[in-house]
Amino acid sequence: MKDGFVKVCAATPEIRLADTVFNAGKICELMRSAAEAGAAVTVFPELCVTGYSCGDLFWQTTLLQGARDALGKIAAESSGLDGLFFVGLPVAINGKLYNMAAAVSRGSILGLVPKHYLPNYNEFYEMRHFTPGDELTVSGILLCGQQVAVGTDIQFYCEDMPALKVGAEICEDLWVPMPPSVRLALKGATVLVNLSASDEVTGKASYRKDLIRGQSARLVCGYIYASAGEGESTSDVVYSGHRLIAENGAVLASSEPFTTGLTMTEIDVDKLESDRRRMSTFGAGSGMRIPFRLEKKVTELTRRIDPSPFVPDDPEERAVRCEEILAIQSQGLKRRMLHTGCRTAVVGISGGLDSTLALLVIARAFDLMGKDRKDIIAVTMPGFGTTDRTYDNAVNLIRSLGAEFREISIRDAVTGHLKDIGHSLDDHDVTYENSQARERTQILMDVANQTGGLVVGTGDLSELALGWATYNGDHMSMYGVNGSVPKTLVRHLVRYYADTCGDAALAATLNDVLDTPVSPELLPPEGGVISQKTEDLVGPYELHEFFLYHMLRFGSGPAKIFRLAGIAFDGIYDDAVILKWLRVFFRRFFAQQFKRSCLPDGPKVGTVAVSPRGDLRMPSDASARLWLDEVDALTEERA
């Protein structure tokens, strides 16, 4: 339960049709196993107490009484377990039979939720036996010696974890145009459970998986799906015991076909609540609300924590994402060029990753506009820290792309400027470094004036998050195409371009750029190679991007981010290193907001961005104290 994580389980027991004693025993076995593994919410299949495919046996009083007795046994079993359990059974009320989901916890039957939509086609004849849930006329019944709530809008909420609010629907309910889960989510449920008995035919498993993934995304919820399996009748159809757990568009766990047992993972309900707070769609909850309790304990995490949340793992998906981002960047620049009527685009080329990507984007934008690439003014501006390697890559890149090459050294201008302000050339402090960045920006702006052009910025999202930019230097441009692209993604975009450009010389240059250490090259080289490596100074970009993503995307605090980073980067960075750079991240993120408050325009390409005009409305003088205190407390715990 710590940090908003709740372990959940989809369970498929082996059953015997109409043998409620056997079935209750198997359900109780899996309940115990799930609870011992730490599951807080466990979901069993539709009508699992009797079996789904009992047919006209559902009219037998003996079977219905057996189901009630079995539910009593299941409820009694739950008295010694920590968790909320959903089981399916038939329940007769006022002369009508309903397909029900029963929620049990700590010895109590908390509520009964009826199935709304009953299939009546092919081999399914539920309407032959059951009544739709919306025809219920009671709000409670006496069942197994307990007064039990009955309703279609019941929400089970955890008193010990306020973000955990559970709603239930049954099988076909999900497949209709307006599933009950939509209403339940709009009223506040963060986790939806589905007790199902879906038959298996070719292609259905894939469709079912997409359906559940999509529903969890639309409702910004966790979704737990458990379907019937071994023991159901195979007279006309087969049941595979498919079990799925999804969270906001991602399938976290899925069972193998034709298996019984448990499928478990963790759902982050705090993350879901954070996403919903950014929307006006979801309400605070209404209808019948029933509490349940859970022990307060740390949930052991078994789900994968992605160390690179901005970059897809799958190569094909990554290639699609790269193409989409390049299209967004180039279309944005195209629109700005056409709107302003600028004749040229002016960009500084250092031979590094960011300026390389910017030039590639400009070239694509010019192609989209049908403009001659000779109107791209690419300026290389060697300074005190420029190495032969980066200079050569800059020159080769410009010429390969057919842009106009200009070389304007900044050494004399910066030397004169430092002399004017009385600063020694031997003092390699921040003034020495930033004067070079500001001189380069002045050159670009003036060249743009000369040529009727627009200065295209090269700085990326990771640099903006850390404030790793010279104010009114590389911080400033007329349109920043990389402003919402993190550094690690910049690398993948350049690699994608190299792999797909079809130009061997250009690809060779791009690959060498990729192999060059990230550096602002503001300090003199040592032995002809780069002496100033950015990640040695501010920390690994992959860590900072992980911190940034979880802070801005989900509102996570330092303790939760540290916990997730420890899992994601296990074997790569130890706790001390993660905490060191986590403190640097929060200190710099808060202190450098003033730079982000006056960013130039630029296209948003992902869900995390820092534009002051829409994505990050943050005051420049906000205190980082609470965040830094939390990091310091974590550091002291491990000292």
Per-residue pLDDT tens digits for 201-260: 899 999 999 999 999 999 999 999 999 999 998 888 899 999 999 999 999 999 998 999
pLDDT for 122 beyond 60: no
Please state, in angstroms and rounded to a whole number, the distance separating the CA atoms of residues 218 and 187: 14
Question: What's the CATH class of domain 315-637?
Answer: alpha beta
Query: Tokens 């402003």 map to which residue?
Result: 483
Q: Which of 54, 158, 171, 342 is catalytic?
A: 171
pLDDT for 123 beyond 60: no
The candidate with the shortest Cα–Cα distance to 627, out of 558, 547, 550, is 558
Q: How far is CA 217 from CA 159, 192, 249, 436, 552, in A?
A: 26, 12, 4, 48, 19
Per-residue pLDDT tens digits for 451-465: 999 999 999 999 999
Q: Which of 115, 271, 334, 487 is catalytic?
A: 115
Per-residue pLDDT tens digits for 43-98: 999 999 999 999 999 999 999 999 999 999 999 999 999 999 999 999 999 999 99
Q: What is the mean pLDDT of residues 105-115?
A: 97
The candidate with the shortest Cα–Cα distance to 293, out of 71, 1, 44, 76, is 1
The candidate with the shortest Cα–Cα distance to 71, out of 110, 119, 123, is 110
pTM of the model: 0.91
Q: What is the mean pLDDT of residues 31-36?
A: 98
Per-residue pLDDT tens digits for 470-499: 999 999 999 999 999 999 999 999 999 999
Q: Poorest-confidence range of 33-42, 119-128, 432-441, 588-597?
A: 119-128
Q: Is 363 exposed, middle or buried (0-12, 13-18, 19+ CB in 10 A)?
A: buried
CATH 3.40.50.620 in the chain: give the residue spans.
315-637
Q: Does the domain formed by 2-292 have CATH 3.40.50.300?
A: no
Q: Which of 46, 169, 200, 266 is catalytic?
A: 46
Element (H, E) at 85: strand 84-93
In DSSP terms, 529 is beta-bridged to 526
Is 171 one of the catalytic residues? yes
Is 36 one of the catalytic residues? no
Give the model's pLDDT for residue 508. Answer: 97
Is 324 one of the catalytic residues? no
Helix (H, G, I), strand (E, B) or coil at 572: coil
Q: What is the mean pLDDT of residues 547-560?
A: 96
Phi, psi of 560 (to 5 degrees): -70, -40
Q: Poorest-confidence range of 84-98, 250-264, 270-284, 619-633?
A: 270-284
Give the model's pLDDT for residue 518. Answer: 80
Give the model's pLDDT for residue 519. Answer: 72
Range 75-108 burial, b when 16+ CB lie within 10 A, else e: bebbeebbbbbbbbbbbbbeeebbbbbbbbbbeb
% of the chain residues with pLDDT over 70 = 98
Please state, in angstroms and rounded to a whole number, the distance separating the CA atoms of residues 202 and 445: 62
Query: Tokens 């830094």 map to which residue?
Result: 628
CATH 3.60.110.10 in the chain: give the residue spans.
2-292
% of the chain residues with pLDDT over 90 = 88
Range 34-54 burial, b when 16+ CB lie within 10 A, else e: bbeebbbbbbbbbbbbbbbbb
| End-to-end Cα, the chain, rounded Å | 25
Mean of per-residue pLDDT scores for the chain: 94
Contact yes or no for 383/474 (Cβ under 8 A): no
Residue 261 pLDDT grade (very low, low, confident, very high; cuts 50, 70, 90): very high
Residue 532 pLDDT grade (very low, low, confident, very high; cuts 50, 70, 90): low
